[in-house]
Structure 1
Amino acid sequence: MSEGTPPRLPSAFPQSPHPNSLRRRGESSGSGPSSLRNQHPGGRAPAAKLRPDQSLRPRNDNVVKSTPSIPPLIPFDIIDAPTQRMYAVAFYICLLGWKLVDWTRLYNDDGDMGELWFALKWIAIDGVFFSVLPSFRIPWLSLNQFYTLVAIALMSTINILLSLKFVFHLSSLTAIFWKIFYDRDLAISERSVKWHDIVHNNSHIMGKYTVHILPEGAAKLNPDKIAYCVGPGHPSVTIPIRINGTEPVYMQLLRIDPETAVPEAYDLNKKQLKKLFKAASRDDQSELRHLPFVVTKPGLYFLAKVKDITELDVRVQDSEAIVAACPKASITARVPKRSSDMCKGDLADLTLSVEGLAPLQVTYTRNIGGKPTTFNVQRVHPENFESPLLGGYNREIPLLRQDESENFDWVGSKTITIGLNDTLNSHGDWEYEIEKVIDAVGNEVYYNRPDEESWTPKQHSVSHHIQVHERPTIRFLGCDSQNPLHLPRGKSRALPFELRGVSTDAPFKMQFDFTRFDKLASATEHGPDYETRSKNLKDPIELVIIRDPGLYTVRSISSIYCSGDVHEPASCLVTTPAEPTMTMEFNEILDKCTSSSIGLTVDLTLVGSPPFQLSYRLIKDGGSPQIKTLKIDKTRHQVRFTPEESGHYAYEFFRLDDVNYVNIKLNSSELRAEQTVKPLAGATFVDTTLRKSCIQEPVEFELKMQGSGPLTLHYDLIHRGKRTRYTDKDITTPFHTIRTKELDEGGEWAVALISVEDQSGCKVALDSEAKIKVRFQRPKAQFGQVEGKFSVQALEGKTVDIPMRLTGEGPWSVRVKNLNNDGPARELNLRDSNTYFQTSEVGTYQLESVRDSGCPGTVLDAQSQFTIEWLPRPQVHLPQSASIKTEAGISHRTDICEGDEDTVEIAMIGTPPFIVDYEQRFKPEGGRSFEKNSRSVTAGLGVATIRLDSAAPGLYQYHFNQVADSVYDNPKDKNIRTPVVLEQRVFPKPNAAFVNANRVYKYCLDSAPLEDSSIPMHLTGAPPFSITIGIKHLSTGRVDLIQVPNIDTHHYKFQVPSYALTLGDHLVSVGKVKDARGCTRKITNGPHVRLQVADMPTITPIDQRNDYCVGERIAFNLAGVPQFAVEYEWNGVLMKATSQPSQFVRVAERPGNFTITGIQDSASDCKVNLSITKIIHEVPSVRISEGFAVVKGIPQGDMAEIEFRFFGTPPFTFTYTRSEIVKKGQKARILEMHSQTSEDHTYILHASQEGTYEVISIEDRYCSYAASVNGRKS
């Protein structure tokens, strides 16, 4: 350290979690950079030493170390290794035997519990065995962890399959394992060879050449230009430093502190960089590394200096990394600890606080009653804020270039608050919730999406809930200063107000002012001595009871959460009304004729609130009083008492009620009136409703009479404007009946009361009248006609509707009698004038009487009778013929054969068309009971044809038991008492079959057969038989038919004629057979036998070319009878082979000459000599760099020389590829592909581009070979 240079304080990069990185060859990821120093503003930063706790020595937890051999658990001097292996295998064999016993017991246990226990038990036993076995460290049985897990998984799968009673097919498993482990073909040398090994021979293409272009050394921080952030959920981040083509020994990074804007240096020495190199991930290029640099502090980082092993400066590319404090946001009430309950119309008064690298962007949602609304607030930053990020974050231009002011205050985290003053205009739940916040460089923090990588669990401050309540309202109903509420003296009432509010917001507090009525200044103003009262209401419908009159004014209303509104009318005037009183005056009513009293008028004067109810007692002649009540709507009223009967009457008024008061007692001795009444003469009808009368009948009316008798009554009978006066004298009873004459004309009549006279001769005019409606005629009844007649023919047993015609006014009562039986007449109640009388009995019906709703009627003699008759039923029968014979009531039809067509005619009597239902019964040959089947036939005329069934042999019967025609159209009526029965027997068809069906009979062309040529047959039916046999020539399709007549037995041996034997295969089948009953059976697609007529064997090559390559299959078609014997010559050696199928195939395993010399099949002893020659050529090969893998690095612009050497027959055509250089185990991407042709065995390629050069295919004059990109040959 030079003099004058201020000392630098040591500082260490803090410990922080390290990111996961790729580990190769035992390397583990190291910690981040080891040390940092605060750079003095004017001084040079020398290297600093690490403190002991800051050592960057890598952890060797995963390093594979060579350890000395561990001895077995049981020393070999006690039990040697082979014996230990024998014991282990024997122990597991015992376990397998135990498992086999348990498995066989599964098939004797029907419960599922046994299968589950078997699987769990043996999975556990096998797992323990294979887990414990490696701990014994027995040679050859000491499995590593991977193979131990594979063995446990395999045995667990087998145990599960055994528990499910899975069936293993031995043949299928043998075929699968044979194909996998013994996939071999026969070669020309008659050896079994693996065709795959011959064809996929890796030696045909060998070697590859890799060219590396050595790059220029460079270093770059944050090559992907990613912005980072650190915070509570992310305490550290890893920034990659890309090193290309060099190995630095010193590196310096600078961090600009966002608080002080002072650069802070991080110096990394060779030892620290070596540790970072071990932790670095390896790219596809071996010279490219990404060193993991871990930071925990926010700021602006950039790479200042890099030196390599030659102490030369490595080119540092423009790069930087900005590490900001992770953005965050919160939403809280402006007033701390404020209640979440608020009122409708209030302001939300919330504060949205956003912290991070400005400008920021925050997204929040406002959910009102389940309806969310999203708000996005952008460009959030402090006032007068300057930053290069205001115009957006451009990753391509470093921030150091964009900020020319050298003021790095914008790098630091800023806190900005935003006021949210929404008006709470609806009640319910209001939920504010922050969804995400984004800072200026794109760092995002999500609060409600756990699937996002930058998700942060919700905190209490990222959401805020407000419960908005309705404000209560109150007003008076039906009461104000103009419409006061009446409160009777000594009573209580409820104030009539309406309180609107939510019951859950209770209790409600109601405040009101009260001034007594006697202290009011006016009806609408309170006096100076008013009182303020309050009332707590548990719910909006609770009543407020008052007992004092006065003025009530509501001042306020509030719930437990909110103050409410007082609506008009807000005041209610309560008054106390006066009690009701009454005065009266009365005068007598005198008769003008006799000047005697006939009644009394009482004038009433009332005080109170109408309507009134006035009660009084009526006392007649000192008898028992009658209580009566008057309802009066006014304060002045006149009552008129005019008794109809004479006597002394007294009226006492004793009680008065009004709207406000009830049961107010009156002084009945003062409010009393008396009179002596002698009523006038009078008469009235007791019932004045309209009377209906029949013509020529009198009508009676009852009258109520009054007055001093005896009385004389005068009344008129009025009809068509004509009045007739009648007088009844000496009437002394209170009720009198008058009787009119017989009313002989229909229409309107009236009885009018004219006058009445009492004993004193005083005559009183009357105006009462009663009406009479007289019918014009009497009701009548008669039968209606059906098609012009009073008779009808109907179906037997069916209901018949007899038409009836009625006149008059319904309903009618009619008596009808059937003259054909002695039963009583039927009483019918009818409501329609044109109706029907229903009956199901034949006979002649007579109308006896009729009556309508009011009058008896008459029956017209000419239309008083109606006759019903039944229609005849249809019949069915079988016409006599020669083919039908009848015995014991059963008709027998001539016997037929199975499958023959036969019909029979039936005859019907009735009205066509006919429907005949019959039952077909069938008893098969040897059967004991009949099978029944119902059928139907329709005939347009009197004859129908029935098709007789012959589908199966046996006895058939046809029972015709139901018939219907156009009149009797219901075939379900069983109207045939004795069914017609037809019987017929059906004989079975004969049959002929080969005893040895599908057998092959061998013959030689133009010679006697090799075996007995007779073909045994079996026949069924009635002998003698005649059969037709067909011989089909499969080569031409021609069929020869051979007739064989008069076979007297059921067993027959057929001899094939010699003219029917031609070269090839033949099918012999029976075409037709006929027996003695005349029954014939035609046989199609029946059993057959095969004839083989053999010829000389032949062999022909499938492919006509003569040149083949090693690995190809040489195939020949063989014609003849297998098995074949093939003789051939292979490279001068004579060989013989047998072939069972019709092809002879051999694999060419090496080059040489292959010649077929002879063939013989198993049909004859003839051998064919021939000569078919094929030449087999070797597959071409290619070598790159003598078959080795060469890696060569060249400077930029140089060229590499790649030599290709070929083996085979020129010319050669080969295809090579250039692929990218990848790490071991990764798949390389092909960059380009080329094809070249060479006439020589050597080819030179000059390459200047980086990559791996490989040949993928080679072709010479005769053969070719290709390899897949991944190295496997195809």
Structure 2
Amino acid sequence: MHLDPVNQRLLTLAAFLGIAATKLQHIFLAWAAPPSELQEAALGARHLLLWCLLDTVFLGALQIAQVPKLCFSKAKILGAWFAFMVLNVGIWGKVAGRNEAVDDGYANGPVLSDVYPKPAVLNSPYIIGSHLVHVRPPTTAVLNPNSDSFCLAPASPTATIPLQIKGTPPWLITYEHYGVDGTYRLFENITLTGVDSLSAEGRAKKGRRIESYPIVVDAPGVLRLVKILEAGGMEGNVIKNVTDVVACPQAHFIVPDKGSGIEGEPIDRCVDDVYDFEIRVSGTPPLLARYRKKIGDKESIIAVPFAFREGAVGSEPALNATAHPDAPADTHINDEIRRRLAATRRRDQTVPIHLKIESPLPHFFKIVAITDGQNNTFEYGFEQLPPAASVLVDQQRSQKGTLVQSPEPGDALLLQGRPYPSARFASCENAKLRANYDESVSLPVILEGNGAWSLQYAHAVSDRAAAIGNFSSPITLPPILTPLHDIQVSTPGVYTLIAVSDRYCKGVPDLPLSCSVQQTVSPSMKLSTTTIEEACVGTIGTLVNVSMTGEPPFWIEYEQSRIGEKPTTKRIQAEKPRHTMRLQPTEPGTHFYSFKKVLEMSHGLGWDLTDLWGAGRRGLMGDLNYPEGVDVLNLTFTQIIHPQSNARFLRPQKMIRCLGDAAELVVALDGNGPWTLKYDITSDTGARSYVKEGIVDPNVVIEVNDLERAGNYMVDLTEITDANGCSRSLQGRAVPIEVLAQRPSAHFQCLKPISFLEGSTAKLPTSLSGSGQFVLRYRNQADPSNIITIKQAKKIDGIDIKTPGTYEIVEVRDEHCTGQVVSPQTCD
């Protein structure tokens, strides 16, 4: 990044002022330090070296940078550097010399005003003459010289308070302890000798020296050093005489169900649920509790501050004006002690935690440490902390205060996030029930979640009843233990999943949530025959049209015979429900054809169709739904064909429609018009014949409007008659139409209102079923005229919105059909 000249000069000025501020800080701390802290705050050689290094780096950088209007020659830079060095040495020498003089005076004797607070009177006649007066510095004592904090806990029942003494041992000290529980203890004339020193070097020294001695405290309260006496009875100076000892802070989890989640058994909650618990702390405010939060593999440390509120209840008894009656009757001291006791008194406080279950993973929480207002830290357990917690503990150890490490682990809380269950139908396109049969059909359901599941469904007698919500009372299944389950039903209609729940949560059914069960009718079979004639020869054969209802492919077996000859049995394969056979014998004579049986390849079983040619004769046929066969009666066939005209479909490809839709097929006609065209529409319910007469246009449209049942339909051209009255049987001219039982459907999957920040976007979850190439139209009910369209090839899993409101799905369709919008149609 390039800076303009003005900013370059401002940056140079800022660097210069920063170096000057660093020097002034060092000088102020050394000049204003009290005598007891001169050794720590005095200027040393390290300060001088730092000043010189900063000036050298600054001048060198100035020479290299060539800042406009601050470009100086090397000679000027060198002269400035020399001047800075001389100035640094002069200032450093003056301040360091002053510190040495003050430190020597403090070490060798007190300041005169400290020893003699009043001017000495020297005009008495008793002191006339020459005298030698030796002034010996008095003993000085400092209680807790480093101003450390101390706390007591079962893991650390005592605290050692250092007492720093400067002088020649032995000494007699008197101190007193004011307990937060209202007790008072006085310790008088405690002898301290050189062997009491906290350091081995101190115990080996002789004469005047500075040493630290321990005072052990076993109860929270205020410790006050009353006085210190030298061996000759002279009272020493007490520079600092009061320090506090508090109870170590504590922290615990409080959960609604006692022991839940803490004693090893996890608390189960659904995703997006909120679990409320509390952290209760006790100690000297303000308090800072830290707990570990681990969700799956992600781990972090959460810090919870506790600011003391006026009126909060404390754990220790309150102090009044008559507290500690055995204490010295010094109002000032008692007031100060009461103030300190009130400040160090332990207090209890509770903060609620509102935890949202973010994902279906374990949510683990454990208290790591707690720090009170005096920087005392209580750590729980000796476990390996994550890096974030280690940094916090290291920072605490660098501050003044007591660090207590307890072997007892902190409270832990374990929550297990559980996903919402779902249920949906698998494939139920072939769900059919046979008429007049006591049987049931299985509707496969796929369940997701944690078993066992509870599932409810309802039944409607038809699609129309289901569309208006006319369902029977919900049916609840017994507990389901496996994720794949079959619902056994014995009544046709529409079955819809209403509700699903698993061991932990309540969910919503997914798409497809409805399944249609259709009732099939008995299969039927129809035979028609047409003679094949030529103008010069006459009849040369027969065309046999076989129309069957059932599940193809079929085998057709028949006998062919001639008078005086033994019958021969033949078998042909029919791939479609309608099949045309061309029976054209090569030998003259009378030929007889008798159909015996028809069987499905998928079953390999046959059923008798004896003498279908004769009126009133009895035969059998069957399909995939009726493998045992049904009776066929009274089939006769007569038809005359003049093979002159022809008819064919322009687009013979398979068509796909949904229930209630219509289909149009264009047929091209050849020959002399006007024509009469016959065609059949075959389905699993039977076959119907249609006739269109007086056709003039060579391209005629056949409309199929009776698609009221799901399954396979076949539109088959059977016969065409031209203007001369010549008829011709048509072969292999059929178009299949597949009618789907399920229309595409869509609904919202909003379990509750969705919230989002102003200016951001939110996704409204949707669920679609269908064949792809979806078109979804929706609108905000606040602006119903503004309908928005979304097109996707595979799926639409959500709608992105920027405006709050109630959104409604208006229309859905796929590549084949217009669909239906099911509940819930809206989402807030």
TM-score, scaled to structure 1 = 0.31
Which structure is richer in relative contact order (CA contacts within 8 A, separation 6 or more)? 1
Higher alpha-carbon Rg: 1
TM-score, scaled to structure 2 = 0.46
| The structure with more strand, counted as a fraction of residues | 1
